[in-house]
Protein backbone atom coordinates (compact mmCIF):
# COMPACT_ATOMS: atom_id res chain seq x y z
CA UNK A 1 0.00 0.00 0.00
CA UNK A 2 1.24 3.47 -0.76
CA UNK A 3 1.81 5.77 2.19
CA UNK A 4 -0.73 8.38 1.06
CA UNK A 5 -3.41 5.68 0.74
CA UNK A 6 -2.55 4.30 4.20
CA UNK A 7 -2.90 7.76 5.74
CA UNK A 8 -6.27 8.28 4.05
CA UNK A 9 -7.43 4.86 5.22
CA UNK A 10 -6.38 5.54 8.81
CA UNK A 11 -8.06 8.97 8.98
CA UNK A 12 -11.25 7.49 7.54
CA UNK A 13 -11.20 4.72 10.15
CA UNK A 14 -11.35 7.34 12.89
CA UNK A 15 -14.08 9.29 11.12
CA UNK A 16 -16.12 6.12 10.52
CA UNK A 17 -15.77 5.01 14.16
CA UNK A 18 -17.09 8.27 15.64
CA UNK A 19 -20.63 9.28 14.68
CA UNK A 20 -19.93 12.85 15.85
CA UNK A 21 -16.85 13.23 13.65
CA UNK A 22 -16.76 14.20 10.00
CA UNK A 23 -14.00 15.73 7.87
CA UNK A 24 -15.11 19.29 8.61
CA UNK A 25 -15.24 18.85 12.38
CA UNK A 26 -11.92 17.01 12.34
CA UNK A 27 -10.36 19.85 10.36
CA UNK A 28 -11.62 22.40 12.86
CA UNK A 29 -10.40 20.32 15.83
CA UNK A 30 -7.04 19.97 14.06
CA UNK A 31 -6.71 23.71 13.36
CA UNK A 32 -6.71 23.03 9.61
CA UNK A 33 -8.92 24.42 6.91
CA UNK A 34 -11.55 21.93 5.77
CA UNK A 35 -10.16 22.18 2.24
CA UNK A 36 -6.76 20.98 3.47
CA UNK A 37 -8.26 17.87 5.01
CA UNK A 38 -10.54 17.26 2.02
CA UNK A 39 -7.49 17.49 -0.29
CA UNK A 40 -5.76 14.82 1.81
CA UNK A 41 -8.81 12.55 1.94
CA UNK A 42 -9.51 12.92 -1.79
CA UNK A 43 -5.92 12.09 -2.71
CA UNK A 44 -5.08 15.51 -4.10
CA UNK A 45 -2.32 15.87 -1.49
CA UNK A 46 0.13 13.04 -2.15
CA UNK A 47 2.66 13.83 0.58
CA UNK A 48 1.17 14.83 3.92
CA UNK A 49 3.67 16.87 5.90
CA UNK A 50 4.59 15.61 9.36
CA UNK A 51 3.34 18.84 10.97
CA UNK A 52 -0.04 18.47 9.25
CA UNK A 53 -0.33 14.87 10.38
CA UNK A 54 0.60 15.89 13.92
CA UNK A 55 -2.24 18.45 13.84
CA UNK A 56 -4.66 15.77 12.66
CA UNK A 57 -3.56 13.53 15.53
CA UNK A 58 -4.14 16.42 17.92
CA UNK A 59 -7.66 16.81 16.53
CA UNK A 60 -8.24 13.09 17.01
CA UNK A 61 -6.82 13.19 20.54
CA UNK A 62 -4.15 10.60 19.76
CA UNK A 63 -0.38 10.40 19.38
CA UNK A 64 1.51 9.80 16.15
CA UNK A 65 2.41 6.39 17.56
CA UNK A 66 -1.27 5.54 17.91
CA UNK A 67 -1.97 6.81 14.40
CA UNK A 68 0.74 4.60 12.90
CA UNK A 69 -0.15 1.55 15.03
CA UNK A 70 -1.85 -0.34 12.19
CA UNK A 71 0.06 -3.14 10.51
CA UNK A 72 -0.51 -1.74 7.02
CA UNK A 73 1.94 1.07 7.82
CA UNK A 74 4.72 -1.53 7.88
CA UNK A 75 4.28 -2.47 4.23
CA UNK A 76 4.87 0.42 1.83
CA UNK A 77 5.56 -0.05 -1.84
CA UNK A 78 6.51 3.57 -2.44
CA UNK A 79 9.31 4.15 0.09
CA UNK A 80 12.18 2.39 -1.66
CA UNK A 81 13.27 3.22 -5.19
Per residue of the chain (81 residues), what is the pLDDT tens digit?
788 999 999 999 999 999 999 999 999 999 999 999 999 999 999 899 999 999 999 999 999 999 999 988 887 666 554
pTM of the model: 0.89
3-state secondary structure of 70: coil
Amino acid sequence: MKLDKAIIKRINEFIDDDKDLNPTTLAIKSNLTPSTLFDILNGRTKKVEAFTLKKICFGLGITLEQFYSKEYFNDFDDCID
